[in-house]
Structure 1
Amino acid sequence: MHNVINTIPLSNVPWKCFSMKYTREIPERNPPTWMLQSHKIYYHEPNTVIRQMLENPDFTHGFDFIPRREFDARDQQVFSDFMTGNWAWRKADKLAENPNNKGAMLIPVIAGSDKTTVSVGTGQNEYYPLYLSITNIINSV
């Protein structure tokens, strides 16, 4: 899986790894195997990944630099992507209260995960990749 990810253009963010193990109370009878095993976590440094997204020339014209509000012909607010939402608007207002933030761009980060089963040569191992993106990349990019 690492090799596939590394073939993505601009993917020069190095892999890092750490191990973790469950350390709380373990049931005496039939504990789940994940409680007994050590697990390796492979990741890319999130700040570096985000910086790379911001520097990607494919996204040059693909950012919402500020939140916006859209309305239809009946004057009803239309929510078409993250930066048209009320949360983004409120956060931008809060940031604007500080004069040191003049010219800053709100860059909310969103993450998600879903179980992925990899069976070829792995014996049905389950992976739980965590996906990360920034929310102000417009939907058409």
Structure 2
Amino acid sequence: FGTAAGALEVSVAEQFEADFNAKFEPSTVPYNREAYDATVLIALAICRAGESFFDMSRAEQGQAIRDNLRAVANPAGEEVTYGELKKAFDLLKEGKEINYQGVSGPIVLDDNGDISVGAIEIWKILDGEVVTDRLVEVKVAG
């Protein structure tokens, strides 16, 4: 048995991996989904910060990203997924709220901006293949 980062929305994660592998080389990079989600969240936060973001100092840019992260993973906003990023950027430019649903699972940020819900995949080797044994949901109390 072993463990790896898991995804709560398995069908979304599998579709993302299929899309990724079709466009690029098949990836065996650990935390590929999480890195993708982190990059998307930062890009969405920058978009929400507005055009003035690019005139800010680096310190101000960091603060603008921090201040807008929760707003792009906002449960009250319109849900968007990795396949709807153009729509997400358009909604933000229109001043609307969004709720990015990640390929690694739902993005639920606590008061510190940390992920508070996730999953751990328990895997095993069966007939020479690595297969998922079970998925364990993890909730972190803040």
Whether TM-score is above 0.5 comes out as no
Q: Rg: which structure is higher?
A: 1
Flag the structure with more relative contact order, 1 or 2, with Cα contacts below 8 A and sequence separation at least 6. 2
TM tier relative to shorter chain: under 0.3
- Which structure's residues are more often helix, by fraction? 2
